[in-house]
Amino acid sequence: MSIALRGVRKTYGRTTALDGLELEVHEGEFFCLLGPSGAGKTTTLKTVAGLEQPDSGTVELDGTDMTGVEPYDRGVAMCFESYALYPHRSAYDNLASPLRSPRHRLPAAEARDRIGAIAELLGISGLLDRPVGQLSNGQRQRIALGRVLVRPARAFLLDEPLSHLDAKLRQSMRAELKAIGAVQHTTTLYVTHDSVEALALGDRIGVIRDGRIVQTGTREEIWYRPYDTEVARAFGRPRINLLPGTITEGGGFRSADGGGAPWSRGAKTSGEVELPLGAEASPGTDVLVGVRPRDLALEREGHGTDGRRPVLTGTVYVTEVLGRAVEVTVRLGGQHVSLVAPRAEATHLRPDDPVRLTVRPENLLLFEADRPERPGRRIETSTR
Ligand SMILES: Nc1ncnc2c1ncn2[C@@H]1O[C@H](COP(=O)(O)OP(=O)(O)OP(=O)(O)O)[C@@H](O)[C@H]1O
CATH number for the domain that contains residue 12? 3.40.50.300
Averaged confidence pLDDT in the chain: 89
Choose the residue to mutate in 8, 14, 34, 41 for probing ligand 1, maximizing ligand atoms within 8 Å of C-beta. 41
Looking at the structure, do residues 24 and 97 belong to the same domain, yes or no? Answer: yes
> Which of 181, 200, 234 lies at the terminal end of a domain, its last residue?
234
Predicted confidence band at 265 (pLDDT cuts at 50, 70, 90)?
A: very low
Residue of 340, 62, 48, 36 lying closest to 198 (CA atoms): 36
- What is the position in ligand 1's atom list of the atom closest to the CA of 39? 21
The count of domains in the chain is 2
| Contact 37 CB / ligand 1 (< 6 Å) | yes
- Complex prediction ipTM: 0.97
pLDDT recorded at residue 8: 98
Cβ–Cβ under 8 Å, residues 211 and 35 = no
Determine the structural domain holding residue 245 and report its residue range.
241-368
For range 241-247, the mean pLDDT = 92
Cβ–Cβ under 8 Å, residues 284 and 247 = yes
| Contact 41 CB / ligand 1 (< 6 Å) | yes
pLDDT recorded at residue 259: 40
pLDDT tens for 98-119 read 888 887 788 888 889 999 999 9
What's the burial of 323, exposed, middle or buried (CB within 10 Å: 0-12/13-18/19+)?
Answer: exposed
| Contact 219 CB / ligand 1 (< 6 Å) | no
| Residue with CA closest to ligand 1 atom 17 | 42
Residue 212 belongs to a domain: yes
Residue 39 belongs to a domain: yes
Q: Which residues of 283-321 are buried (b: 16+ CB within 10 A; e: fewer)?
A: eeeebbbbbbbebbbbbeeeeeeeeebbbbbbebeebee
For range 331-343, the mean pLDDT = 89
Residues above pLDDT 70, as percent of the chain: 91
Looking at the structure, do residues 225 and 100 belong to the same domain, yes or no? Answer: yes
What is d(CA 110, CA 236) in angstroms, rounded to the nearest whole number? 43
What is d(CA 19, CA 12) in angstroms, rounded to the nearest whole number? 12
Residue 382 belongs to a domain: no
What is d(CA 53, CA 67) in angstroms, rounded to the nearest whole number? 8
Q: Provide the 3-class DSSP secondary structure of residue 246.
A: strand
Residue 322 belongs to a domain: yes
**Upstream peptide bond of 131 is cis (omega within 30 degrees of 0):** no
- What is the position in ligand 1's atom list of the atom closest to the CA of 44? 18
Residue 373 belongs to a domain: no
What is d(CA 278, CA 316) in angstroms, rounded to the nearest whole number? 31
H or E segment at 18? Answer: strand 15-25
Looking at the structure, do residues 172 and 122 belong to the same domain, yes or no? Answer: yes
